[in-house]
Chain A
Amino acid sequence: MPVARVAVPTTVDEAVQALRETPGAQLLAGGTDFCVEVNFGLRRPPAVVALRRVRELRRYEVTPASVVIGAGTTYADMGGPELSSVLPALAAAARTVGSPQIRNAGTLGGNVATASPAGDTLPLLTALDARVRLRGPSGGRTVALGEVVTGVKTTSIAPDEVVVEVVLDRRPGPQQFLKVGTRNAMVIAIASAAVVVDLEAHDVRVALGSVAPVPVRAAAAEAHIADAIDWRAAGGPRASAAALARFAELVADAASPITDHRSTSEYRRRAVQVIARRALERCVARAA
């Protein structure tokens, strides 16, 4: 008997309670994935727990050290002035999602819980070692994003747990997100990359999307380029053309893309190294 009741909780605890009371219930946030599945008859859960009225999920908080973003924060909010000033690459990623209509509906928590390889916020979250706060019947727990997203559209989130918020450390320095698709709008990523440069720790973080079952860090590329950058160059850090070329190769090595209806493995591997290098060059100057 599909979708026989819809819970409309107003707090996270009520949402958890509703999940306990209705086994098999589906959480509904922005609906940009789930409602498509219902419309096409692919999903008919016994019940739905709708999160639109849970105001505490819409909060976000910026401190000097970190940014805590409520799971109900929409892509439109992430692309807005406040969050884009502290997390410009997250804002850039959010602005590449769908259309204004989709960005007004889709949420950060939905992107995490859906765990699509093409989830546009996930590379930046992966680059920043995001922690995900979950709440269930026995209380809350904080889990690294890499332990939440376990495979293509699979997570370690329990059926009676709700994604409450995502915690990101702030990094002093430039950050970029780039994505390749067939249009500049309304497109699911064929490949994506987030680059975060830390001007104090002198490190570089690179995470890739749509080129593996889960978002991946390009650890060898990170180590190589952090070593190769002249961090104390006048006018800001810079890297040689040879170092950037090697960086791109190591990025490609970190990818394990597939061929599917959106693209080929070969194109994805090529595209991801081009955009990762371009993103890095927008953060770090090329030495003459």
Chain B
Amino acid sequence: MPREERVPREEREEGAGASPGRAGAGDASGGVPAYVQADTYELTVNGTRRAVEDAWLGESLLFVLRERLGLSGSKNACEQGECGSCSVLLDGVVVCACLVLGVDAIGSRVETVEGLSAAGDVADIQAALVDAGGVQCGFCTPGFVVAVHDLLRRVPGADEMAVREALSGNLCRCTGYGRILEAVRDVQRSRAGSDGGHGAGA
């Protein structure tokens, strides 16, 4: 089991945001580039600093999350950015973890589907997907959960077209998407309701 260490809040905030952030592998100065050469490095995943050990530097972030850190929520299907099953947030931006080099995430904030709800809890998006029948084999579900989370955080009242565009990079071969879209509407409705009825005009 990899060593875990909580990152203080201030440090989390510093590493946050859409900016590329600084390299955790040693800050460059005087025009000398920093290198990662060791097979052991640290990533910040779901607010926790995690040691990646015995890694090959060519491994994708997806491989590192699943095989080095035991976070198997992000799924591995196409390995070429086509299916969205490995969607994660990197510095707050949704990307395919299979197209990020693990070491390139050093110094950045990685959020996976495991980080979207407190341990043991189910996020409202996950519950809505289950209730609406948007989960059949379930393989694509974590990627959809991350993509929907990203969309509704930015655009709570996203209309049908915006939802479809936001989910266009997530493939589901079971549901035909209708029930997934229904689940998104359900989340929008219930969040708007709990906010006092404004905000999510889906």
Q: Which of B23, B57, B103, B104 contacts A10 (CB 8 A)?
A: B23
Given contacts A10-B23, A53-B107, contact A32 B94 (CB under 8 A): no
Flag whether A2 is at the interface (Cβ < 8 A): yes
| In contact, B22 and A10 (Cβ under 8 angstroms) | yes
| In contact, A4 and B100 (Cβ under 8 angstroms) | no
| In contact, B33 and A99 (Cβ under 8 angstroms) | no
Stretch at the interface among B76-84, B117-125, B131-139: B76-84
Flag whether B101 is at the interface (Cβ < 8 A): yes
Q: Which of B32, B37, B104, B147 contacts A100 (CB 8 A)?
A: B147
A184 — which chain B residues lie within 8 A by C-beta?
Answer: 168
| In contact, B33 and A100 (Cβ under 8 angstroms) | no
B27 — which chain A residues lie within 8 A by C-beta?
Answer: 10
| In contact, A11 and B58 (Cβ under 8 angstroms) | no
Interface string of A172-195 (1 = CB under 8 A from B): 000000000000111000000000
Q: Which of A44, A52, A99 contacts B84 (CB 8 A)?
A: A99
A52 — which chain B residues lie within 8 A by C-beta?
Answer: 20, 104, 108
* Whole-angstrom distance between the Cβ of B6 and the nearest chain A Cβ: 25
A2 — which chain B residues lie within 8 A by C-beta?
Answer: 58
Flag whether A138 is at the interface (Cβ < 8 A): no
B107 — which chain A residues lie within 8 A by C-beta?
Answer: 8, 53
Q: How far is the CA of A268 from the CA of B96 in the complex (A)?
A: 30
Q: How far is the CA of A38 from the CA of B23 in the complex (A)?
A: 22
Q: Within residues 83 to 102 of chain B, which ones have a CB less than 8 A from any CB in chain A?
A: 84, 87, 93-96, 98-101
Flag whether B202 is at the interface (Cβ < 8 A): no
Q: Which residue of the partner chain A has the closest CB to B38?
A: A5
Flag whether A287 is at the interface (Cβ < 8 A): no
Given contacts A3-B56, A4-B57, A40-B79, contact A100 B166 (CB under 8 A): yes
| In contact, A98 and B81 (Cβ under 8 angstroms) | yes
| In contact, A55 and B19 (Cβ under 8 angstroms) | yes
| In contact, B79 and A39 (Cβ under 8 angstroms) | yes
A7 — which chain B residues lie within 8 A by C-beta?
Answer: 33-36
| In contact, B103 and A101 (Cβ under 8 angstroms) | no
| In contact, B28 and A10 (Cβ under 8 angstroms) | yes
A82 — which chain B residues lie within 8 A by C-beta?
Answer: none
Interface string of B133-174 (1 = CB under 8 A from A): 000000000000001001000000000000001101110000
Q: Which residue of the partner chain B has the closest CB to A51?
A: B20
A54 — which chain B residues lie within 8 A by C-beta?
Answer: 20
Q: How far is the CA of A32 from the CA of B81 in the complex (A)?
A: 7
Q: Which residue of the partner chain A has the closest CB to B80?
A: A36
Q: Which of B58, B87, B95 contacts A3 (CB 8 A)?
A: B58
Flag whether A6 is at the interface (Cβ < 8 A): yes
Q: Within residues 60 to 97 of chain A, which ones have a CB less than 8 A from any CB in chain B?
A: 76
A39 — which chain B residues lie within 8 A by C-beta?
Answer: 60, 79-80, 98
| In contact, A53 and B94 (Cβ under 8 angstroms) | no
Flag whether B106 is at the interface (Cβ < 8 A): yes
Flag whether A156 is at the interface (Cβ < 8 A): no
* Whole-angstrom distance between the Cβ of B134 and the nearest chain A Cβ: 19
Q: How far is the CA of A68 from the CA of B31 in the complex (A)?
A: 24
Task: With a 10 A CB-CB cut-off, give which of B35, B80, B99 has the most chain A CB atoms.
Answer: B99
Q: How far is the CA of A10 from the CA of B58 in the complex (A)?
A: 20
* Whole-angstrom distance between the Cβ of B63 and the nearest chain A Cβ: 8
Q: Which residue of the partner chain B has the closest CB to A58?
A: B20
Interface string of A95-130 (1 = CB under 8 A from B): 000111110110000000000000000000000000
**Can you list 11 A-B contacts (CB < 8 A)?**
A3-B58, A4-B57, A5-B57, A8-B28, A8-B33, A28-B104, A39-B60, A53-B23, A99-B81, A101-B81, A101-B94
- Told that A31-B101, A101-B96 touch, could you supply 4 new A-B pairs with CB distance under 8 A? A39-B60, A48-B58, A99-B81, A99-B168
Residues on A close to B: CB < 8 A?
A: 2-11, 13-15, 17-18, 21, 28, 30-32, 35-36, 38-40, 44, 48-50, 52-55, 58, 76, 98-102, 104-105, 184-186
Complex A-B, nearest 3 residue pairs according to Cβ-Cβ distance, in ascending order: A99-B169, A185-B168, A3-B58
